[in-house]
Amino acid sequence: MTLIKSISGIRGTIGGKPGDNLTPIDAVKFAASYGIWLKDYSKKDKLKVVIGRDARLSGEMIQNLVVSTLVGLGIDVVDLDLSTTPTVEIAVPMENADGGIILTASHNPKQWNALKLLNEKGEFLDAAQGAKILEIAEKEDFDFSDVDDLGVINRNDSYIDIHIDEVLNLSLVDAEVVKKAKFKVVVDGVNSTGGIAIPKLLKEFGVEVVELYCEPTGHFPHNPEPLKEHLKDICDLVVKEKADFGIVVDPDVDRLAFISNDGEMFGEEYTLVACADYVLGKTKGNTVSNLSSSRALRDITQKHGGTYEAAAVGEVNVVTKMKANNAIIGGEGNGGIIYPESHYGRDSLVGTALFLMLMAEKGGTVAELRASYPSYFMSKKKIQLTPGLDVDGILKSMAEKYANEELSTIDGVKIDFAENWVHLRKSNTEPIIRIYTEAKSQTEADGLADRIIGEIKAVAGL
């Protein structure tokens, strides 16, 4: 059982002892720390915070605790109840709120939950702000409001519909174009809020929807991370239904993966490549992804005459670099699409709309589209960490070993070889080292990963 405190929020498993897990006491303590920080940060007498959650089993409990804590601090709450991460992000500025909290452990299994923290723009907090909240939590220096100054709760369950309207109004989105294509699409909503939002969006585009695991019960029918080994059911159903493609989202709907018409994975890395291909084909501009993302985005960006830059892993880092480079689209290779015309946050609804536009205008099949892109293969592996392991020392040793290669140490260690690359980094959300590789074949990518894992184990004495 685990409790992970980081600059992006607090994440942990439900149950157990306070301080070791995400218990009710930890949820209250961290919500209070955010509220105290927000009061100091905003310098306003009266604050408003937007709260929304995915459908996981502990969501209602954590929601009640967080909402009541903020009310106890004299903060008004706009409670979206069942929602998505990008929906909460767009709701914050639309409500003129001072911040937001999303209750979701994203792609983690059902025993996990988390508080993800937003600023007044509906964007994730930066490192300094997150560190300040951790400091407040450590001191437990809370000052709650008198009875006459308690906050009020306003419930608003219309924001998924508002979000869909916002997507339909984007300048490069035209529902009438998509309607003419008469698509049939299978949707796997992993029994969370994507099962509400994605089918609703698709129907606005005139798409025939086949729903799979779209009841928001929180009982995830498979591991909720949208990776190939978890998605046999939708891959089979796309073929059986003769669908044009399939859509898979994670529980909070900020990661988007497609299944090609032949039942094969389109590739999470290629979600951003395809959406960028569409946007860059209409508007000249630059792109950003993170150091663990495919070279294919760089290739597509350069093909369209733009400039590609890589940021450290983490949405806030990608967003910072996108703003600095005036990127018109960006994101992360885990299927996270960030499209600034909408908002600076990963958004599967926006990604779905852009992909529908691309397919409607290009014609042909999704498998043919995938075959038209530069072909790279990734291996994503990990090493479980044991207590007392000197991870920073291990990464330093690996950087020294490959000092003669093209090296980046802004986020772990990224080694760029001529034909492939490897990225080693500590996870912010799990006690693991991630080993990502990319090469021109799966065998080569897997082989490189296994070789590096062997070298790490030798260095660590594992």
The CATH number given to whatever domain includes residue 406 is 3.30.310.50
Report the candidate in 87, 424, 62 with the shortest Cα–Cα distance to residue 249: 87
Report the candidate in 284, 218, 213 with the shortest Cα–Cα distance to residue 247: 213
Do 227 and 338 lie in a common domain? yes
Return the amino acid letter for 48: K
Coil/strand/helix, residue 9:
strand
Question: Residue with structure tokens 């495919």?
Answer: 294
Token readout for 79 is 């409670």
Predicted pLDDT at 283:
97
Q: Indicate the pairing of strand 184-188 with strand 153-155.
A: unpaired
Do 287 and 401 lie in a common domain? no
Where among 124, 156, 188 does a domain terminate? 156
Distance between CA atoms of residues 113 and 27, nearest Å: 10
Average pLDDT over residues 24-29: 97
The beta-strand segments (E) located in 15-98 are 48-53, 76-82
Token readout for 343 is 């908002």
Select which of 8, 106, 192, 289 is catalytic. 106
The beta-strand segments (E) located in 272-352 are 286-290, 308-311, 327-332, 336-338
Average pLDDT over residues 144-152: 97
Do 361 and 429 lie in a common domain? no
- Give residue 461's pLDDT band: very low, low, confident or very high (50, 70, 90): confident
Report the candidate in 275, 311, 306, 309 with the shortest Cα–Cα distance to residue 292: 311
Do 209 and 138 lie in a common domain? no
Each residue's pLDDT tens digit, 103-136: 999 999 999 999 999 999 999 999 899 999 999 9
Return the amino acid letter for 457: K
Distance between CA atoms of residues 271 and 257, nearest Å: 6
Do 350 and 423 lie in a common domain? no
Do 359 and 381 lie in a common domain? no
Say which range, 58-72, 375-389, 398-412, has the weakest mean pLDDT: 375-389
Instruction: Output b/e per residue, 258-285; b: 16+ Cβ within 10 A.
Output: bbbbebebbbbbbbbbbbbbbbbeeeeb
Predicted pLDDT at 388:
75
H/E element holding 369?
helix 366-371
Do 322 and 404 lie in a common domain? no
Token readout for 384 is 């479980």
Do 366 and 392 lie in a common domain? no
Percent of the chain with pLDDT over 90: 88
Distance between CA atoms of residues 164 and 158, nearest Å: 10
Predicted pLDDT at 355:
98
Length of the chain: 462
Each residue's pLDDT tens digit, 92-107: 999 999 999 999 999 9
- Give residue 392's pLDDT band: very low, low, confident or very high (50, 70, 90): confident
pLDDT reading at 173 higher than 60 = yes
Predicted pLDDT at 228:
87
Token readout for 201 is 């969006």
Q: Longest C-alpha distance within the chain, in Å? A: 66
DSSP code of 344? S
The beta-strand segments (E) located in 141-278 are 153-155, 184-188, 208-212, 245-249, 256-259
Contact 226, 107 (CB under 8 A): yes
Do 15 and 101 lie in a common domain? yes
C-alpha 252: how far from its chain's center?
Answer: 8
Do 188 and 107 lie in a common domain? no
The domain that holds 238 is classified in CATH as 3.40.120.10
Where among 126, 156, 186 does a domain terminate? 156
Cβ neighbors of 61 (< 8 A, separation 6 or more) are 24
pLDDT reading at 1 higher than 70 = no
Return the amino acid letter for 409: T
Domain that holds residue 142: 3-156
Coil/strand/helix, residue 325:
helix
Residue 397 annotated as catalytic: no
Q: Which of 299-303, 311-315, 383-387 has the highest mean pLDDT?
A: 299-303
Each residue's pLDDT tens digit, 217-267: 999 999 999 888 999 999 999 999 999 999 999 999 999 999 999 999 999
Contact 102, 116 (CB under 8 A): yes
Each residue's pLDDT tens digit, 399-456: 999 999 999 999 999 999 988 999 999 876 677 889 999 999 999 999 999 999 999 9
Do 131 and 257 lie in a common domain? no
Question: Residue with structure tokens 């009438």?
Answer: 176
Helices (H) and strands (E) in the chain, counts: 15, 20
Report the candidate in 26, 350, 414 with the shortest Cα–Cα distance to residue 171: 350
- Give residue 21's pLDDT band: very low, low, confident or very high (50, 70, 90): very high
Predicted pLDDT at 429:
64
Beta-bridge partners for 112: 13
Each residue's pLDDT tens digit, 33-59: 999 999 999 999 899 999 999 999 999
Distance between CA atoms of residues 161 and 154, nearest Å: 17
Distance between CA atoms of residues 320 and 360, nearest Å: 32
Number of domains composing the chain: 3
Each residue's pLDDT tens digit, 363-378: 999 999 999 999 999 8
Distance between CA atoms of residues 321 and 340, nearest Å: 12
Distance between CA atoms of residues 398 and 215, nearest Å: 46
Instruction: Output b/e per residue, 204-241; b: 16+ Cβ within 10 A.
Output: bbebebbebbbebebebebebbbbeebbeebbebbbee
Do 111 and 180 lie in a common domain? no
Beta-bridge partners for 21: 18
Where among 311, 338, 372 does a domain terminate? 372
Kindly list the distances between the CA atom of residue 268 and the CA atoms of 159, 199, 229, 364, 424, in Å, as whole numbers in the listed order: 27, 20, 13, 20, 19
Coil/strand/helix, residue 424:
strand
